[in-house]
Amino acid sequence: MPYHKNKQQAFEAAQQGTMEAKEWYDHLVKSDADYGSQLHHLKQEVNEAFEQINNALEVASEKQRKQLEQFRHDLQAIVDEVNMYE
């Protein structure tokens, strides 16, 4: 049972990390005076989320694995978008 709990916790951490990174991205405003600071924080959130996804993938069920790959894809899209404007 603890294994299942850890699997679920790892998945939820990855899901939460991805959602937080998306929220930071959604609120990123290029014209803001603190854009550089916002961008730095976004990059930290994205890196943490990627780490959480990688951790979760180590113990994920097949269904979770598909969702985690989607999270990774979503984060990569954010990275690509941000890099385009830098």
What gap in Å lies between CA 86 and CA 81, rounded to an integer? 9
- Host domain of residue 57: 32-85
Q: Is residue 21 part of a domain?
A: no
Q: Is residue 9 part of a domain?
A: no
Q: Is residue 8 part of a domain?
A: no
Residue by residue, DSSP assigns 11-22 as HHHHHHHHHHHH
Q: Is residue 6 part of a domain?
A: no
Q: Is residue 74 part of a domain?
A: yes
**Measured in whole angstroms, how far is the alpha carbon of residue 49 from the centre of its chain?**
3
- Domains contained in the chain, number: 1
Query: 76, 34 in Cβ contact below 8 A?
Result: no
**Measured in whole angstroms, how far is the alpha carbon of residue 40 from the centre of its chain?**
14
What gap in Å lies between CA 20 and CA 1, rounded to an integer? 29
Q: What is the pLDDT of residue 84?
A: 84
Encode the chain (86 residues) as per-residue pLDDT tens digits: 455 678 999 999 999 999 999 999 998 888 888 999 999 999 999 999 999 999 999 999 999 999 999 999 999 999 999 888 76
